[in-house]
Copies of this chain bind each other. A is one copy, B any other.
Amino acid sequence: MGTVHNVMEDSVKDLLEKYWGDLPVSCHCETCKSDVYALSLNRLKPHYVRDQSGRMYAKASLMTTQARATILTAITESAKVVSAYPHH
Protein backbone atom coordinates (compact mmCIF):
# COMPACT_ATOMS: atom_id res chain seq x y z
CA MET A 1 0.00 0.00 0.00
CA GLY A 2 1.32 3.43 -0.95
CA THR A 3 2.19 6.10 1.60
CA VAL A 4 -0.21 8.88 2.45
CA HIS A 5 0.62 12.30 3.85
CA ASN A 6 -1.31 14.79 6.01
CA VAL A 7 -0.78 18.15 4.28
CA MET A 8 -1.94 19.86 7.47
CA GLU A 9 1.47 18.88 8.94
CA ASP A 10 3.20 21.14 6.39
CA SER A 11 0.83 24.06 6.98
CA VAL A 12 1.13 23.89 10.78
CA LYS A 13 4.91 23.54 10.58
CA ASP A 14 5.18 26.60 8.28
CA LEU A 15 3.08 28.81 10.58
CA LEU A 16 4.68 27.45 13.77
CA GLU A 17 8.17 28.24 12.45
CA LYS A 18 7.03 31.71 11.37
CA TYR A 19 5.33 32.71 14.65
CA TRP A 20 7.20 30.61 17.25
CA GLY A 21 9.18 33.63 18.45
CA ASP A 22 6.02 35.67 18.96
CA LEU A 23 4.00 33.02 20.82
CA PRO A 24 3.33 33.51 24.58
CA VAL A 25 5.15 30.33 25.66
CA SER A 26 6.97 29.91 28.96
CA CYS A 27 9.72 27.84 27.32
CA HIS A 28 11.09 27.92 23.77
CA CYS A 29 12.94 24.56 23.83
CA GLU A 30 12.64 22.09 20.95
CA THR A 31 10.64 19.63 23.07
CA CYS A 32 8.00 22.23 23.90
CA LYS A 33 7.92 23.25 20.24
CA SER A 34 7.27 19.63 19.17
CA ASP A 35 4.56 19.32 21.80
CA VAL A 36 2.84 22.47 20.47
CA TYR A 37 3.16 20.97 16.96
CA ALA A 38 1.56 17.64 17.96
CA LEU A 39 -1.15 19.28 20.07
CA SER A 40 -2.03 21.69 17.26
CA LEU A 41 -2.38 18.85 14.74
CA ASN A 42 -4.70 17.02 17.13
CA ARG A 43 -6.99 20.09 17.15
CA LEU A 44 -7.18 20.36 13.37
CA LYS A 45 -9.03 18.37 10.70
CA PRO A 46 -6.52 16.15 8.87
CA HIS A 47 -5.97 16.53 5.10
CA TYR A 48 -4.44 13.24 3.99
CA VAL A 49 -3.56 12.81 0.33
CA ARG A 50 -2.20 9.88 -1.60
CA ASP A 51 0.03 11.57 -4.13
CA GLN A 52 1.86 14.71 -5.27
CA SER A 53 -0.99 16.20 -7.32
CA GLY A 54 -3.39 15.72 -4.43
CA ARG A 55 -0.82 17.36 -2.19
CA MET A 56 -0.65 20.56 -4.25
CA TYR A 57 -4.42 20.86 -4.36
CA ALA A 58 -4.85 20.20 -0.63
CA LYS A 59 -2.01 22.58 0.24
CA ALA A 60 -3.67 25.37 -1.76
CA SER A 61 -6.90 24.84 0.15
CA LEU A 62 -4.99 25.36 3.40
CA MET A 63 -3.55 28.72 2.34
CA THR A 64 -6.79 30.67 2.51
CA THR A 65 -7.09 33.41 5.13
CA GLN A 66 -9.75 31.39 6.96
CA ALA A 67 -7.64 28.23 7.03
CA ARG A 68 -4.57 30.12 8.29
CA ALA A 69 -6.66 31.76 11.03
CA THR A 70 -7.98 28.34 12.12
CA ILE A 71 -4.45 26.94 12.24
CA LEU A 72 -3.07 29.94 14.15
CA THR A 73 -5.88 29.60 16.70
CA ALA A 74 -5.00 25.92 17.22
CA ILE A 75 -1.30 26.81 17.61
CA THR A 76 -2.02 29.59 20.11
CA GLU A 77 -4.32 27.39 22.20
CA SER A 78 -1.77 24.56 22.16
CA ALA A 79 1.01 26.97 23.17
CA LYS A 80 -1.01 27.97 26.26
CA VAL A 81 -1.51 24.30 27.25
CA VAL A 82 2.17 23.42 26.78
CA SER A 83 3.20 26.56 28.69
CA ALA A 84 0.96 25.55 31.59
CA TYR A 85 2.00 21.87 31.51
CA PRO A 86 5.47 21.50 29.96
CA HIS A 87 6.88 17.96 29.46
CA HIS A 88 10.55 18.70 28.86
Which residues from B are CB-within-8-Å of A38? 4, 48-50, 54
Which residues of A1-32 have CB atoms within 8 Å of chain B's CB atoms? Answer: 1-4, 6, 9, 13, 16-17, 30-31
Which residues from B are CB-within-8-Å of A6? 6, 41, 46
Q: 1/0 contact trace for A34-55 toward B, CB 8 Å?
A: 1101110110111111100010
Query: Considering only CB atoms, which chain B residue lies closest to A49 in the complex?
Result: B38
A45 to chain B minimum Cβ distance, whole angstroms, is: 8
Which residues from B are CB-within-8-Å of A50? 31, 34-35, 37-38
Question: Is A33 an interface residue, CB under 8 A from the partner?
Answer: yes
A38 to chain B minimum Cβ distance, whole angstroms, is: 4
